[in-house]
Structure 1
Amino acid sequence: MLIGEVARRSGVSARMLRHYDSLGLVRPTGRTVGGYREYTPEDIRRILYVEGLRSLGLSLRQIARTLDDPGFTPSALVGDLIRKTEERLNREHELLERLHTVDAAEPAGWQDVARIVELLHGLGSQSAARRQQAVLAPAEHASVPAELLARAVLTESDPNVAGALRWALARAGDDGGAAILASGMASDDVVIRRRAVLALAELPDDEATAMLTDALGDTDTTIRRHAALALGARGVTRAVPTLLGMVVEGPNDVEAGELLGTLARDAKWADRIMSALVDELAAHTADSAVRIRLTQALAEMPGTIALNILRQLAHDDDRPVALIASALVKMLEERPDDEPRDAADQ
């Protein structure tokens, strides 16, 4: 079969077949009387082998070695091809994400693009100081895409850089960042969920509040506590049970007690919170540390609504509790008369 017919049937151009011949990769077995290349069925089969291996990413040199070495085994070469292909795909995926990030920022000019690329390079640095500097550098031209900051928040392990990222994300506004944080909250990795809830705590919008409310049901105690503190500061009463549990259990009990006091300024919730604190006191008669924390939380209640309870605790059998309650009673009784009273205390 002459070269033109081989090219037509195999789909390999005559020029490429001549190149294969010059390399010694596929040499036609015979020649016609006129000197034209003449391919046998075995030659054509070799051409198809070459094309099949090229489709896997092998170089022509690798193909020649593969076909001519009878002792060659493909496993090592195929494994190497897999690794190289995965590396190439990762680079291309990173490039695609970078292009999407630049596009999402809607740059007005190349200065905007340069700023975003600079930030991307900075965030990719091995140096935590360099990453933090990249986040805090003033953006004179382009605004930093919230989506980029949110992605970085979920992967950042350095607490200082993470804090800078959360600050920048809160300033960036709602531009896709909340959606990325939502994916973080759905992660099976508890570390990622913790990073996400901390970032959500600094976003003031309703979407963040809704996700924080959902986080109250998370299986991780730390996440529930972060969510409750953020929600309590926003006046969301769904956080009350978790805040009460924080007072009982200890971590962040001071902040939790202060937030319970703030939420109790709503007359509809004052009695519920007071009753819950009193019930916990009754349930922990043998645990002095818990009773001390609950006593301190009572002092955070608005006005003097907890004064009578504290007076009773001033005579408690647990001396540390009694001493703390006595000091708190004195503080409340010496409160200036002109100090504003809350609705719950009137």
Structure 2
Amino acid sequence: MATSPEHEYLSNAALRIMESASNSGLFGYTEGQRKLFDFSCDLKKDWSKVVVGQTLWKHDGDGIDKDLRTLLNEQDVAAAVYIARHKSRLRARFAEVTQSYLDTPMRDRLSRLRVFWIPADFNTDDEKVVASTYKALQEEITRDLLLHVTLGGLTPRDVIRFASAKRPGLQIAILSYIKKNGHRSHKNTAGALGRRSTIVASETERLFMTGFLESESLQGGVYKITASGQAMLDICSRLRDYLNGKLGEGNKNAHLEYICGLLGIDYPSIPINTPLVGEDVIHQLQNPTFLLLQHVAQADSDGLVDWPAPYFALPSN
């Protein structure tokens, strides 16, 4: 059955938004085989996560049952995206169908479903409407999908908690060390980092309490890095590139800047010649971005971090 221009535009826009965001260097992107779906892609870091999606535009509520069944039946996907026309009867039908899955073995898969409602009067012939719709969809997909799938659900509050640590650079060094070597004891980690065991223990436990490290024990102990901890390492590495003038052409990366902006990291507001380490530092204790860049600069100066390289988009098969 032929699809409408709006249907085609929205399906392609979803892929374009995810591919564009991958230019931040925070994850890789490959367009996938669509098979039963309107769009599909593979997001890559040290792992590979598949995102599939359907778009509902011309059809009434009858198509929702089939679309959701197709999305939820697919195994081994990180997220199932549904882009749909915002109409009262469609939202009501969507609620009915999802409710019906709550009493089935499929209920656990509902958590991977991400729904984005598009204004019913969207028309590809209106350039202003197209531009505003794309901008709104970009923010929603980046905030509600990509930050969860590729950045471990990182939030602005997480960034503030990380940036507010009292010992500049040490949290980054601990995350890097545990990612590469694992964690056997505070003594071993402290020895590798050249710090006192009590200090490393305090910062490690803080990383555990704030969700950047995890442990099978509720009391901590043997730690490993979480998805949000890995995401913070990746972001700090890109911020290091910024401070070293190596972020890209003109030391700019609009895609990274956009994602960081959603996390409350306004790194362009801090010029790269701002003193961040040493006696000339003018502290900005109420500025999380300054504090985070100070952590990055100190960790870079200490030379104890194995900085993650940028991820790049890969050619589609």
TM-score by length of 2: 0.30
Q: Which structure carries more helix by proportion?
A: 1
Query: Which structure exhibits the higher relative contact order, with contacts defined as CA atoms closer than 8 Å and separated by 6 or more residues?
Result: 2
Q: Which structure carries more strand by proportion?
A: 2
TM-score by length of 1: 0.28
Bigger Rg over Cα: 1
